[in-house]
Structure 1
Amino acid sequence: MTMAAEPLQTALQSWAEIDLPALRPNLDQTVQSLVESRETSLQARKSLGERTKTLKRAIKTASDDGTTTSIASLATECKATIKAYQGEIDSLTKRCKLSESNFTKLYDVIYNREDPAASLRRAMEIVQSRDDQLENLLGAMEELNGELEGVREKEQAWAAEREELLTQLKESEVRKDHDENNNNNNSNNSALSLAEREELIQLRSEVAEYEVEFKGLKNQDITIRKLEAKIEQLEKDREHELQTELSKAREELAEVEGRRATEALEREAITSRKVQSLELQLRAERAGREASASQLLAAEDGLGEHEAAWEAQKQILVGDADRLREELAECARERDEVRLRMEAVLERDEGGSGGDGTTTTPPSSGGAKMLLAEYMSERKAYEAEIGELSDTCNALREELRAKEDSISEERTSAKSKIEVLERERVTLTNQLSSLELKVANAPSQDVVDKMRHELRILKRLEYNALDIDHNDRSDPETTVGDDLESVLVAKLRKVEADLVRERREKSEGVKEREELNSELDNVKKSLGEAEELVASLENDLQLAVQTPTPSKTTSRSNSSSAELPYAPTNPPNPNTLQKVLDPNAPLIVDSNPITKPPTASAASQERANDDHSVATIVMAQRDRLRARCDALEAERDSFKRELQVQVQTSESLKTDNTKLYEKVRYLQSFNATSGGSMMRGRNSSLSSDRDLDIEALESRYEASVDPFRQFSRAERQRKYNEMSPLEKVVFIVAKTTLGSKEMRKALFFYVLGMHLLVFVTTYHWSHSSSCDFLHKHEALAHFHGGMPLPESPAGEAAAAAHQAAKLLDSN
């Protein structure tokens, strides 16, 4: 029992170290704090609902009024609402962190302890052994009861025998009394009384023994009854204690087993999903490997067949070339034989002519010419045949070279394909290993579900979205279908949508107001400029009409006053312009008359005044033009500054849009993994009402996020910076020429045309050079109208005939 109780003692000590009574106040405090935080969050949510209602009212008032005060109140209300939502999000995150910290503390306390199931199992074994002992004791008690019943039966038999003996004793006493009354009996009777007395004494001794035994049996019976009562009491107490302990142990075991079962099921589901994903990946990789292996085998088989075919063709071409060489050698040998025969015939002709001492006759010269003509025709035929054979041989060599090049290209392409497939296999193995590491390092499903739930709440409270039902205008707090979080999210989305719409309308109204204000300012400015221009022109005209003979001082003063743009000294007189337009018109009476200087009457003075007025007008126009140029330059500078500001704002808006698209993309991926029909409805409503160009945002986001593109761009820039100027020029030219499909096609046809031109030119040049060589050859000159070689009498005769023909032609 001590060996069996040692594990129970260690388990008891390990669980006693937890000090659950001391830990309960902390747990109660944490639970109380969680309950209070939950109540405060509920109150905060109610206040958020009230704030959203006030925000709706402010939005309605702002949309109805459209005043700056209502817009300012709407902005303050929006800020307060957003701050309230941020505070609620902060409180939720604090609650999450507090629960996580409490869970980790409890996990650290419980994780290092032994499994109570083992100790309870040992306790159950001990209890079972004790139950077995009790059963054995009960069996022994039943045996003792059987023995006691036998003893009782014996006691009853002994009591019956005792009663018989007592009756016999009474009878003997009666007999004794009778015998004492009859003292006068004979000796035989006295002998019988002595025997009876001995028998009586023996019976008394037996009765005394039986009484002693009966007393011992009664004591044993009393002790047995007491022991039975004690055993029954102990059995009842033990059964009660065992029932209570077993109920507690069963409850604890049920809780532990339930937790373990849920954890095991979750782990089993996670492992099954991981195994399924890994099996799919392995199947895909095996299929890819089998496909790559089959492609490699097919490529190798095709390559072997191609090589065998090309080798056979090569052997055939080599045999044809050897045969052509042999035929060419035979033709050369025949040509040499014919040449030798010709030389022999010529020598014989020369010998015959030398022996006779006379000149050759015309018949002999005619036979030589016929032989020479036959020889030349045969030679031409042989040369033509040799040219054809050489052309065929060259064509076969070129074809053989082209086939060898194609075979080498196919080999290189097959090697490159093999290398690519090998790299793909290596990348697939690396991806498989990385996926296995990711699966091994992946968190449990409980943590993922908790994080998803928290993220879902935070995202639904944080990001912009449209309301699910635009036509539902009822109070969201009274709805029963959704929980408070979904209601808050729907209300927040509706408020954000309304806020965005109001902001857009406000921005459009502000833009329209600014445009109208700018147009009004421009109109006022142009009106002021026109008024100033008219006033200056009237002053100039008045000066031109009424100015007397200018002197040096007046000209200086006028020139100094004219240098000031739009600076008339006196207000214009309307009568001046009216007089110029209509001399017969009546004068306009002015409340502030201007003192008119006396007009000159001489023509020279008027001419001088006209010149001075023209000069002043030109100078005033120059000054106005200069001021206008300065104003335009200032306006241009302001436009440049505004353009820079707009460019900066556009860049910042692009970055904001990319960030917003990143959030939207994350939400879409999250909704795709965990969303249902409601999220699909929300996504459809969002896709129907979105105003941004998603494709442009997606391309910009992919370009900003893709690490391979960034790495390739950085590497390209680094390589470009490392290039020399000449390499940079070549790179830019190649990029511009090969950058488009049309340029590549034009370059291809240009190169093809140049190759064809070079080929045709080379062929023409070779043909013309061979023809010129044949034309200029001395042995064949007479075939083209030239003189033959004077090696033989026939040749000399032909030369003489040719010279005579030339003389006749010249005469």
Structure 2
Amino acid sequence: MSHSTWSTGLCGCCEDPCVCLITWCFPCITFGQNVEIIDKKATSCACAGLIFCALYFVGVPCLYSFTYRSKLRSNYSLPGEACGDCCIHWCCLHCAICQEYRELKNRELDPSKGWVANAEKMNKGEAMAPPVVAQEFELEKEKTVLDEQGLRIAENQENSLKNRRKLAESTRDFKKASPEEKLGLFNSLLKGYQEEVDNLTKRAKFGENAFLNIYQMLYEAPDPYPALASIAEQDLALSVLESENRKMKIELEEFRTEATRLKNQQATIRRLEERNRQLEQQMEEKVKEIVEMKQRSLAEENQKTLEVLKEREQSLQDQLRQAKESVANMQKLHELAQSQLFEVRAQSEEERAAKQSEVNLLMDEVERAQTRLLSLEREKGLLRSQLQSANEETGSKNSDSVDSNSFLENSLSAKEKIISELNMELHNIETTLTNEREQHINEFKKLNMALNEKELALEEMKKELHARPTAKLVDDLRKKVKILQAVGYNSIEAEDWEVATTGEEMSKLESLLLDKNRKMEHELTQSKVKLSEKVSLLETAEGKIAELTAKVKEQQKLIQKLEDDILKSADQKHVSSEQDQNSMLKVICNQRDRFRTRLRETEEEVRQLKEKIGVLTAELEKTKADNVKLYGKIRYVQDYNLEKVVSRGSKKHAEDLESGFTSDVESKYKKIYEDDINPFAAFSKKVCSNFCIFLHHRVTYPGVHLSLQDVSFKLSEVGFEMVDAIANAEGISISSVSFRALFGKGFIGNVPVMLAKPQTFMNSSGESVGAIVSYYKIPLKQVLLIYDDLDLPFAKLRLLPKGGHGGHNGMRSVIDHFKGSRDFPRLRVGIGRPPGKMDTVNFVLRPLNKQEREELDFTFQHGTDAIRILLLEGFNRSATFVNSARSMEQCS
């Protein structure tokens, strides 16, 4: 089998300096491009590059790369062996990859465009490879030989089948025979099997020889299919190119016609500008008319407001007069109640003294009655004793003294009766005394209750008296009304204010208020006109940007199509002449240069429009803020007359001060104004504006785009791990997504913070960080950025209040989006420089060992403590904690 030769040498790297430089810096890129073409998309460029990088870190990439060199040799019949390929890749890997790249390129393939762009050329390249030299092949002669061999093979098959049947019958007979007969049949049966084996051997040998003869003749014969397929594809490509050439000519004529039409559009632009000026003049006249109408309506509303204020003042004066009369009546009632209270007290004291004297007299009578009763009892006892003695002395004298005894008995019974009467009288007196005492106690309780009721009524009257406005308070209220009027129209001069607040010239105050209203109306109208102009300019700019962007994309597609057509036309063999090719190529190149120039101009115009949009957006925000403040002042004046003039929830009176009817503009600014005074929204903004911590979690390097979401923890994710450690330590959940970043809100100590992890590449981190800081209006002093740093030793921290980017692309992007400001703190986490000549990309993507991970875990804990100190005790304490020698020793 003959071989073609390599079109380029192993050491010819300088033939393509660009590919040589890329291969020496990033061999995985060139190798992946080669593999995708050689393997016909079976292995993608990215997959091959990642496998190559992994083996490159291990140090044996040649064990993987030399296999595709062998496939390349096999595809294009290039000389060499697998062992030699392995040795070449082991000795000079970069030179071998460059040689393979150049070999594909010399075969009219472009590995940088991938398999899809080279699919058509692949079959074409295989067909155009150097042909294999074949031996002469006489088909008719060989057909006769093959027929003979086929007949012989068929005959051998039939003979073999017959012999097998005979052997089968002999075997059955042998099995059925008796043991004595088997000894005689065994030799013949064995001989038959031996003959069959010999026949089968000869048959197999004959078949093998026939196959080898055919294989030897067909071994070096080329495959006609690639050539036939290439011819068919070339015919198809030729027809396609001819049709595309016709289309290109038609498009060229269209471009020329369009250029002529663009020249004619200048006159149209001038006419439109004149029409625009006329419309502006008409708009100014309409604006003036609207302003006059608004002024008249505002004057009427202000007049109504002043009348309502006067009526309210009159009603307040009437209420004050009624309050004064009520106070006077209350004072009279109070004096009358006090006099009655004093009279009741004096009367109760007199009655108490009379009752006491009566009680004393009754007690004296009771004592006298008791004394008399005792004396009578003594007399009774004495008389009884005398009676007994008299009865004992003489019995004779009984008859004589019957009369005297009866007299004495009568006297005794009379005295006993007197004693019982006195006892009854004493009991009655005691009962009467008890009743009088109880009645006196009840009257005393009633008097105390009446006294308490009078005191409570007096306290209530005093409270009501204190609650009612005094004359001084009414005067203060009148002054406050005037002050509120002046607050709503705060341009009143000092002298006019003194005159207006004295109450002597109320018409002067009204005229000042009307003047101020007119001025505010004029300012509001101007603001709205400016706002509408800015909005229209913004819409025009956005439309122009969209139009230019579409035009740029269309031109880019056209340029790409032209370049592809140029590359395809270079392969055409049937061309009219060399001169026609050169002229056509020159025309297309000139057209391409013009398109590129126009594209650069369009990009510059787009950039200017973006800057203009930024300025207009800032002015729009400022105008909106001024309108919100103006709405707040008007709302403040209206709320004073809430009950009689403007009802906040009523559609009937909630009128636009300028238009006189319910307006969408008022509802819009009402919502903004209420959001500004909402305490929950203010707290949310306070949480977001206290402190914000960002980090970078994706890295990009020239020529390589690596996403860290699909790999395990590496040095490039140090920022991720640091913020995750902070979130875990403080119990903050990072789950919400906005501004192309992951958010987490919480507290560190008593300080509200927001953790943000941008989801952009490192080189574009400023897009996310700048948008967040601009939206929440966070001061740069309260923004802390955490990022990895190659210039710091491994697992070391450095906290700085400000500084430059230091060559870090992520910091450069953030500073650019901060409008060049560098005054914001940053926490740098050291990852160290790669050892020796190791590539930086490979270094940051390498897996960490256990010791390095433990050191970083300690560093994350140390950084979390430093951030807590920063928020709770200040930057100086935190910087001392992080940057001191002791802290550096702990981190190391």
TM-score bucket of the superposed structures, by smaller chain: under 0.3
Larger Rg computed on CA atoms = 1
Relative to its length, the structure with more helix (as a share) is 1
| Higher RCO, Cα 8 Å, sep 6+ | 1
Return the TM-score normalized by structure 2: 0.22
Relative to its length, the structure with more strand (as a share) is 2
Return the TM-score normalized by structure 1: 0.24
